[in-house]
Amino acid sequence: MKRVLVTGAGGYIGSVLTRMLLEGGYDVVAVDRFFFGREALPPESGSLRVVETDIRRLDEPAFEGVEAVIDLAALSNDPSGELAPELTWSINCQGRVRVARLAKQAGVKRYILPSSCSIYGFQEGILDEGSPVNPLTTYAKANFEAEQQIMPLADEGYCVMVLRQATVYGLSSRMRFDLAINGMVKGFFQKGRIPILRDGTQWRPFIHVRDTSRAMMILLETPPEPVNGQIFNVGSDDQNVQIMPLAKAVAEAMGVPFAFEWYGDPDHRSYQVSFAKIGRTLGFKTEWDPADGAAEVYGALQSGRLDAKDPRTITVAWYRKLLEDGLEL
């Protein structure tokens, strides 16, 4: 497997994944509109081709010589999904279904859909890939519908896989502070207090951005038989945590006294997820934990490598600005 097309390559996960693929010896076709800046990716080279376009307008020549697609392009997170619900559906669901079909027509052999554990919504117990889903937001519903439409494309010649990602954290060249752990770190760095979405008892699974990227790379090389047409939750059982204990662990990892402030309405999303299947099938284990990620991000803020005031690090606010400025998303 040598040439991989990555949509959303300039995004929070995509920019990390693209670099890891290049370091792993892959050629990468990086597709993105770069709403958050082109500097998240390295310069073009013999191994990296950049295609600046929308997945809704991506055409078949882009897939020439491509052996696999990792389809990350999406309007990210629940608040952004509610900002423009129709747009979210057109990109996160219809756009990715279009890419999956185009790739199959072009002879691509493998397609990975990075979805989200947010489709589980609010449920009791430990949820696995066979559990009922309960998507509560436009973002989650669009992810689930994309899964439903793309999975039937799988056949002997087209290996289709879905990764339902836990909530991601950690350092990226396209940084996001609207993710729970990253936001906690920023809150303490700027205000001396960690913001916690009420009431702190909600459960959420987590995974480092490099770990979820590594899971995608493992799927690129795994023989089709055990993975074709399969859904995998990606994360680790020991990173199912409640928000208040997580905040205390983040403070400890940063070496600072614990202090917090409430924000927002009570969170209606709470779920714990089983990651046994991906461990059993792929031998996948995470290498990072929330303490590692918090320390990493805090160090980058302290050194000036990250700018806590960069408006692009809050996704929904940046999308809102783009819309107000008249940019057609």
- Cα-based distances in Å from 24 to 20, 47, 102, 140: 6, 11, 26, 31
Cα 140 to chain centroid, rounded: 12
CATH class of the region 3-324: alpha beta
Backbone conformation region of residue 146, classed left if phi is above 0, alpha if psi is from -120 to 50, else beta:
alpha
The two three-digit tokens of residue 122, written as one number: 């609010």
The two three-digit tokens of residue 55, written as one number: 């997945």
Tell me the pLDDT tens digit for each residue of 193-210: 988 888 899 999 999 999
Residue 12: per-residue pLDDT = 98
Residue 260: per-residue pLDDT = 93
**Domains of the chain: which residue ranges?**
3-324
Q: Is 216 exposed, middle or buried (0-12, 13-18, 19+ CB in 10 A)?
A: buried
How far separated are the first and last CA of the chain, in Å rounded? Answer: 33
Cα(247)–Cα(239) distance, integer angstroms? 13
DSSP 185: H
Q: Quick one: which H or E segment has residue 241? A: strand 240-242
The two three-digit tokens of residue 91, written as one number: 């990109």
Cα(133)–Cα(121) distance, integer angstroms? 7
Residues 6+ apart with CB under 8 A from 149: 93, 97
Q: How many other C-beta atoms lie within 10 A of the C-beta of residue 243?
A: 20
Residue 119: per-residue pLDDT = 95
The two three-digit tokens of residue 194, written as one number: 């960690």
Tell me which residues of the chain have a pLDDT lower than 70. 1
CB-CB contact of 210 with 173 (8 Å): no
> Of how many residues is the chain composed?
329
Tell me the pLDDT tens digit for each residue of 303-320: 999 999 999 999 999 999
Residue 1: per-residue pLDDT = 61
Residue 84: per-residue pLDDT = 84
CB-CB contact of 322 with 329 (8 Å): yes
CB-CB contact of 35 with 311 (8 Å): no
**Owner of token pair 């020439």:** 64
Cα(250)–Cα(194) distance, integer angstroms? 9
